[in-house]
Structure formats: C-alpha cells, structure tokens
Amino acid sequence: MTKDKCKNCFTVKVDGECPKCGRPVKYTEEEIVSIAAEYLSECKTSAELPTIAGLAVKAEIGRNTLYAYAKDYNTTFSNIFEKLMSEQEKVLVNKGLTGDYNSTIAKLILTKHGYSDKQDIDLSEKTFEHIRKQRDKYSK
C-alpha cells in the first residue's frame, strides 16, 4: 500500500492534507480566471464597482487567497486581477466626476490606485526670495 504524497514537497499527506503545504487550492488557474471574468462581466452589466472583496465573495474564498492566487498564478489570473483593478479605477474616476458616486468615498478608494490629495509646498530659500521681491515691489 502506497502512501499519498504531496505533489509540491513530497511529504506524506495526513488526512488528505500536506502538513507542510496545507490544504490544496480550491480552484485551478482556469477555474479562478473563469470566475473572475464572469464577475467582471456581471459588474459591467449591473453597474457595480468591481472589488477584490466582491470577487472573493463570488468565488467563496478569502481576499488573502485571491492575493495568493495572483502571486502563484502569475500569468493569466494576474492579468485578470490587474484588469479588475483597472476597471475599478476607471469606474471610480468616471462616476466620481459625474457625481454618481460619493466623491469622498471615490477619492478614498482611489488612493489605492496611486492617487493622492496633497499639495507640494516649496519652502526653499528661493521661494522666500521671490516673496520678498514681490513684497518690496508692491510696498513702494
């Protein structure tokens, strides 16, 4: 009688699970790509904002598992994952500008896409010199 071994580390499985690697993944790359594509399609038809949490609910897995899939399945699913984030960014910008979404919430979520609401203030000596010249020019 042969013992069932893990395909990744060749350790003998205990109760069907590898004690080193944990339980096997729930979906193959093709299955999770199909679920993600279906989710994106549903979001477009229902005007729902695509989110990682929404995809996790659709796939009945945790968000961390999705991130692990994106890392492990580094080609097709990573592309779908990026497409989801790009679609989210596009919808947030467009609907935030038209007022369909609360602008504060849209701005908050867009920070995850690299947007920021900050001002760069230059307080160098050159700036102060310019201010002094303007002050002197108008005080005469």
Q: How many domains does the structure of the chain reveal?
A: 1
pLDDT tens for residues 52-108? 999 999 998 888 888 877 877 667 778 888 888 899 999 999 998 898 988 888 888
Decide if 131 is inside a domain.
no
Let me know: does 58 contact 31? Beta carbons within 8 Å. no
Residue 41: its pLDDT value, please? 92
Decide if 5 is inside a domain.
no
- Tell whether the model's pLDDT for residue 1 goes beyond 70: no
Decide if 124 is inside a domain.
no
DSSP SS3 for 32: helix
pLDDT tens for residues 20-44? 665 556 777 788 889 999 999 999 8
Q: Who wins on pLDDT, 49 or 77?
A: 49
Query: By residue range, what is the domain housing residue 103?
Result: 29-117
User: Residue 81: CB partners within 8 Å, gap ≥ 6?
Assistant: 36, 66, 70
Residue 61: its pLDDT value, please? 87
- Tell whether the model's pLDDT for residue 51 goes beyond 80: yes
Q: What is the DSSP track for 119-139?
A: -----SHHHHHHHHHHHHHHH
Residue 57: its pLDDT value, please? 93
Residue 68: its pLDDT value, please? 79
Decide if 80 is inside a domain.
yes
Residue 39: its pLDDT value, please? 93
Decide if 33 is inside a domain.
yes
